[in-house]
Structures are given as C-alpha cells and as structure tokens.
Amino acid sequence: MDRSIYNEPLVSRYTSREMQELFSEQTRFSTWRRCWVALAEAQMELGLTDLIQPQMIVRMKECVDTIDFAAAAKKEKEIRHDVMAHVYTFGQQCPEAEGIIHLGATSQFVVCNTDLMLQKKALFLVKRSLVNTIANLAAFCKKHKNTATLGFTHYQPAQPTTVGKRHTLYLQDLLMDLESLEFLETQIKARGAKGTVGTQATFLELFKGDHNKVRRLDTLVAEKLGFSQVFPVTGQTYPRKLDVKLCETLSGIGISAHKFAVDLRLLSNLKVQEEPFAQKQTGSSAMAYKRNPMRSERMTGLCRKLMGLVANFQATAANQWFERTLDDSAIRRMDIPQAFLLTDAILKLYMNITSDMVVYTKQIEKYLMEELPFMATEKILMQAVERGKSRQEMHEVVKVHSVAAGKRVKMEGCGNDLLDRLADDAAIPFEREELDALVQDFKQFTGRASQQTDEYLREQITPVLEKYTDLLGNIDTSLSV
C-alpha cells in the first residue's frame, strides 16, 4: 500500500478480498477481452469465416488475462479513449487477430456487457452473505424464543415480547431483501451485440443484410457470456434504470442492517444485549471501562453511505438523453463498485455481530420487574372483578397508586413499589404474595411470541435455508480492524 496517497477505506479496512478482486482492473479488463473473444467467435460461427479464422480465436483466448496495463495506460493518455486503448493493446499481443478485434462493435459492447457480468457475480456474493446472516439470526431466534424481555414502542416501556421474537423482525426485513435480490437477478440481461445506437446497423452490414443472423449474433454472444436473456432493445447502453433497481435492492439491505444496528446500540446502552467484544478490544482511549458498540456504529455509518447512493443512480438514469450521454460514465465507475463494496462490508459486519451476540438475562429481568407491576394492573383489575369488586372503583384505586409509584421512580430514583401500595390498600382484595404471583411468570405477558417465533422459523426461514444449503458457511467474517 502506498501511504503517500489516498487509499479507499472500503478496500483497506472493511471489505472481503473476493469483492475487491471482482471490481479490480484485472477482472474488468480481462472481462472486456472475454467479450471480444465471444463476439469474434460468434461472428465466425455465423459465417464470417473469410474474416475470422480459428487460430485468431485461439490466440485471443491465450491473451485474455495477460494484459499490459502500462501499454494500455500510455495509449489511453495519447488517444483519450480507454476502450480503444485496450483494443490497441490486445491487438499488439494478438497481431494475427488485430484486424477483427471489436469488429462492428461500439465501446459499450464491452463496457455494458462487462458491467452486467460483474454485477451478476457480485450479486451472488451478496446473496451468499445475506443467506448466512439470515442463518445466524435464525439460530439466535431459536435459542432465545422463550427469553422474555421488555418491549418498547416510542422507546418507552411496552408489553413484554421475547428476545427471539424481536429478532424475527430483523429476519423478516432480510427475507424481503433476499426476495428483492432474487427478482433483480431475473432482470439482469446481457446488452448483447446492439451496435452504436442499438440498431445493429454495423452488424447488419457485416452479415450482408441477413436479419436472422444479426438477431442470432445478439443471443449467441449473450449465451457465450453466460446470460440466458438479452435486452430486447437498447440505446447505446443497457437501460440505466436497471442500475437504479440494483442500488435500490442493495440499499434495501442497508436499511435493514441500519435498523438492526441502531436497535443493538440502544440495547447495549441498556446493558441487556451486546455485540461481541474481543478479549483485547479497547472501548475508549480515556475511559478504560467502556464497551462501545463499535461494530454496530460502523455498520450504521456504512449503511448511511449506501442508502445515500440511490439518488445518484436515479439522477443518472433520468438524465440519459435519447440514446445515451456520457455523464453516466465517471459516476458509475465509482458508485457501482462502491454500492457492492458497501453492501459487502455491511453484511460482513452483520454476520460477525450475529455470530456471537451476548444476552444478559438478569439485566432483562431487572427491567421487567421494574415495569411489570404497571403491566399487571389489567390482570389485577380483572381478577378483582372476579372477587366481586367494581371494575370502575378498582380502576380508580389502581390509577392513584400507579401514578404515585411512577412519580416516586422518576422523582426520587427509587424502585417500583406499586405492589406494596396495592397490598397495603384495604380496597384491594389481594395479599402481597398473591400480587407477587401475578408478575413472577414473565412469559405469561408475552402472548404468542414464542409460538410466533417457532412458526416463522419453520414456515418462512427453514425453506429458504434449505433452498440455499450450498451457500451456507465457509465465509471469513473476521474484521481487519
């Protein structure tokens, strides 16, 4: 690493080697060459044997990965055109094929088809990480399906739920993301061989006006590049609307991860649940006791960046005049790799965190016991009525004591003494032991949380994990920093 110039943190700190290599210059320009090979091979197979011979194809294939980057950079500086610089460099290495490289094609033949090929591969890596994150969360949900915990609405204490049930909410978000990704995969088609403005005019000339051969060239090239479908019509580029859908899908993962990360940061503050904390990890340079949720905080920041990219893709797609303008080029060079690298970094963190989260059940019980007396008042009212008391009279008595107990907690910092107050009031037909019994079993206040968790895992998550068994495991989730 050259430390005298700026280095992209996504590469130097946060992302996987696989995703980095996928968007490297080596991969991109080798893929350009594979596009040129596919085009020449298809043209030869469809009858241009007077121009293209098998030995040309053989030589081109031999040189796919041996790129002279210095020569290409020198040529680009001279002619100010990256594609033609690489056509020239490829031709220098394959002199016998020099005349037929890029035959009839426009620059976007290699640029667009390569972008689409890389996106397909990158989406596979994202899907693999997403499925493994889902698996981690599912295991956590199953383990803690019966662990009663205080629910929150408006970040104020609400009815209890279970830790497992709460995490099915994050699972459901990720499952929606997976479904969106699966749909996006069906939308990625090859640009194919469409010519300068999408009319295939040059190819029609090459094949002497044979429309059927030109149509077959389009699909044959796509097949050779690994696509089952090709865009029926294009301008000079594939529709930039697809880029918008791509970023919306990836940013959707960012939204889901952001929600989880913020919630975990709040839980960490309450000391009821935490992300993993390394044995020698330092939480603060000044406050040695601190256990800052740095992974969740990092994930929040990366998600914010990813979610913000959508507007760039929308503006680019909306501003493509007629068949194409070049204002899409520079921003896409940055934003497409960044969108995938950000998603990769986010899911790497998500997998890391969910692989070993810590739950503090005693702290959870403490919060429950502070709030359950209030939540048990409805049950107390109902049972008081069963003992012959007026609900309206009981409601007023309970309300007065509840307000007083709440005021004492807030104003004096004392514990919740509502049950003591109720037990000491002669109007309440219960002894203290009976009142205690009403709040001892936390689970009675969680409704169907445990059953819902079981049902959700069995009916929604298990089929997904069974479908993608081959994607589970074998992912390095260790963090470099």
**What backbone phi and psi angles, to 5 degrees, belong to 320?**
-85, 100
154 included as an active-site residue: yes
Does 145 reside within a domain?
no
Pick the catalytic residue from 12, 24, 228, 284.
Answer: 284
Among the candidates 103, 123, 147, a domain finishes at 103
Residues 332 and 379 in one domain: no
Tokens at 251, concatenated: 């940013």
Question: The domain that contains 258 carries what CATH number?
Answer: 1.20.200.10
pLDDT at 481: 72
User: From residue 88, how far is each of 6, 93, 99, 323, 473 by CA, in Å?
Assistant: 31, 9, 10, 26, 44
Helix orientation angle between 163-187 and 241-270, rounded to the nearest 10 degrees: 170
Question: Which pair of tokens denotes residue 361?
Answer: 């059940």
Final residue before a domain boundary, out of 103, 130, 150: 103
Total domains in the chain come to 3
Query: Are 416 and 409 in contact, with CB atoms under 8 Å apart?
Result: yes
> Looking at the domain assignment, is residue 325 inside a domain?
yes
Q: Is 258 a catalytic residue?
A: no
In this structure, the number of other CB atoms found within 10 A of the CB of residue 258 comes to 21
128 and 37 in a single domain? The answer is: no
Q: Are strands 148-153 and 156-162 parallel, antiparallel or unpaired?
A: antiparallel
| Best CA proximity match to 99, nearest among 155, 36, 161 | 36
Same-domain check for residues 397 and 321? no
Question: Cα–Cα distance between 464 and 196 in angstroms, integer?
Answer: 43
Task: Write out the two tokens for 323.
Answer: 């068949």
Question: In the structure encoding, which two tokens stand for residue 149, read together?
Answer: 């915990």
User: What is the distance of C-alpha 312 from the center of its chain?
Assistant: 18
Predicted pLDDT at 290: 57
Residue 195, domain member (yes or no): yes
Concatenating the DSSP letter of every residue in 321-389 gives: -TT--GGGHHHHHHHHHHHHHHHHHHHHHHHHHHTS-EE-HHHHHHHHHHHHHHHTHHHHHHHHHHTT-
The active-site residue out of 154, 285, 478, 480 is 154
Same-domain check for residues 391 and 413: yes
If asked whether residues 309 and 416 sit together in one domain, one would say: no
- Kindly report the backbone phi and psi dihedral angles of residue 31, in degrees, each rounded to the nearest multiple of 5, phi listed first: -70, -35
Q: Does this model's pTM top 0.85?
A: yes
pLDDT of residue 268: 96
**70 within a domain of the structure (yes/no):** yes
pLDDT given for residue 377 in this prediction = 83
163, 142 contact by CB (below 8 A): no
Asked if the structure places residue 476 within a domain, the reply is no
Residue 234 gets which letter from DSSP?
A: -
Query: Are 32 and 95 within one domain?
Result: yes
- Please check whether residues 382 and 261 belong to one and the same domain: no
Q: Is 391 in contact with 381 (CB distance < 8 Å)?
A: yes
| pLDDT for the residue 286 | 53
Query: In this structure, are 403 and 328 located in the same domain?
Result: no
pLDDT for residue 404:
92
Query: Taking the CA atoms of the chain, what radius of gyration do you get in angstroms?
Result: 31
Residue 455, domain member (yes or no): no
Closest listed residue to residue 232, CA positions, set 189, 197, 261: 189
Q: How many angstroms from the chain centroid is the CA of residue 216?
A: 37
Can you tell me the distance from the alpha carbon of 46 to that of 191, in angstroms, rounded to the nearest whole number? 19
Nearest to 40 by CA among 194, 162, 201, 217: 217
- Please answer whether residues 207 and 46 qualify as being in contact, where contact means their C-beta atoms are separated by less than 8 angstroms: yes
Domain coverage including residue 385: 364-445
- Consecutive H or E run containing 419: helix 418-424
CATH number for the domain harbouring residue 69:
1.10.275.10
**pLDDT at residue 461, rounded to an integer:** 98
- pLDDT less than 50: residues of the chain: 285
Distances 316 to 112, 251, 312, 393 between C-alpha atoms, Å: 15, 17, 6, 66
Q: Which helix (H) or strand (E) holds 294?
A: helix 294-308
Do residues 249 and 168 share a domain? yes
Please check whether residues 241 and 333 belong to one and the same domain: yes
What span, in angstroms and rounded, lies between the C-alpha atoms of 420 and 432? Answer: 7
- Identify the pLDDT of residue 281: 57
Q: Angle 466-470-472 (CA atoms, 0-180°, nearest 5)?
A: 80
* Phi, psi (degrees; rounded to nearest 5) at 198: 95, 5
Using an 8 Å Cβ cutoff, are 206 and 43 in contact? Answer: yes
- The predicted structure's pLDDT at residue 282: 58
Q: Are residues 410 and 327 in the same domain?
A: no
DSSP state of 279: T
pLDDT in tens, 124-158: 999 999 999 999 999 999 999 999 999 999 999 88
Convert the pLDDT of each residue in 299-342 to its tens digit: 999 999 999 999 999 999 999 999 999 999 999 999 999 999 99
Burial of residue 229, with CB atoms counted within 10 A of its CB: 0-12 exposed, 13-18 middle, 19 or more buried: middle
pLDDT 10s digits, 55-106: 999 999 999 999 999 999 999 999 999 999 999 999 999 999 999 999 999 9
| Cα–Cα distance for residue pair 470/456, rounded to 1 Å | 22
Q: Do 57 and 198 belong to one domain?
A: no
Q: What is the pLDDT of residue 406?
A: 87
Domain harbouring 418, CATH code: 1.10.40.30
